[in-house]
Amino acid sequence: MASTNDLKNGMVLNLEGQLWSVVEFQHVKPGKGPAFVRTKLKAVLSGKVVDKTFNAGTKVETANVDKRDMQYLYKDGDDFVFMDGDTYDQIHISAATVGSAADFMLENQSAVVALHDGTPLYVELPTSVVLVITYTEPGLQGDRSTGGTKPATLETGAQIAVPLFLETGTRVKVDTRSGDYLGRVN
């Protein structure tokens, strides 16, 4: 248990049997009436974001979420297999839990896996990764970086929009949160 006065970004709360991550919070002390805490909470499993207000000092139940650095090994059917670097334990995580992170994961890449009572909640990748373009239409003479974009397929199978001048085989930096092209890597 914790008080609403102790809330921090990233803290996971157990409200009505569901896990919610604190995205942001603000202590408000109006001129009249009691103080309260305005929060923005994100459902850990579904990703739904809601605004919730608590009275200051109210007790809330915190959830014990264990974030571990793990290495993605391989895909086994619909599951992704990760290995804990410290204990060498392997866990299978469903494609639904991995979600959009699967678009930017290569074998042997490290990721943070959040566990609650041994159940995987979500997989968090670094904010950007470097991947190779496996296919894109050839560029034409005169194509410049400010001219527009074209679709490109990455080595993970994901499709992103890249500038017209990029060619197949180019290494690019990609934002794992939005799938945006961030730049070329030599």
Residues in the chain: 186
Q: Are residues 148 and 176 in the same domain?
A: yes
pLDDT at 50: 93
Phi, psi of 103 (to 5 degrees): -65, -20
d(CA 82, CA 166): 33
Per-residue pLDDT of the chain (186 residues; tens, 9 = 90+): 888 888 888 788 999 888 888 889 999 999 888 999 999 998 887 778 899 999 988 899 988 888 889 999 999 988 999 999 888 899 999 888 888 888 899 899 999 998 888 888 888 888 899 999 999 988 766 656 566 788 999 999 999 998 888 889 999 999 988 889 998 888
Angle at 33 between CA 12 and CA 4, to 5 degrees: 15
pLDDT at 144: 62
Amino acid (1-letter code) at residue 80 = F
d(CA 164, CA 167): 8
Q: Are residues 82 and 54 in the same domain?
A: no
pLDDT at 142: 61
Per DSSP, 138 falls in state: P
Q: Are residues 112 and 139 in the same domain?
A: no
Burial class (CB in 10 A: 0-12, 13-18, 19+), 28: exposed
Q: Are residues 53 and 93 in the same domain?
A: no
pLDDT at 143: 56
User: What is the tally of structural domains in the chain?
Assistant: 3
Q: Are residues 55 and 86 in the same domain?
A: no
- Which of 14, 40, 60 corresponds to the end of one domain? 60
Q: Are residues 138 and 164 in the same domain?
A: yes
- Which of 11, 34, 60 corresponds to the end of one domain? 60
d(CA 62, CA 1): 6
Q: Which CATH number covers residue 168?
A: 2.40.50.140
Give the range of the structural domain holding residue 77, as residue numbers without chain letter.
Answer: 66-124
Q: Are residues 136 and 91 in the same domain?
A: no
Q: Are residues 80 and 92 in the same domain?
A: yes
Q: Are residues 6 and 54 in the same domain?
A: yes
Phi, psi of 99 (to 5 degrees): 65, -140
pLDDT at 4: 84
Angle at 154 between CA 161 and CA 143, to 5 degrees: 45
Give me 80's structure tokens.
Answer: 């992704």
pTM listed for this prediction:
0.69
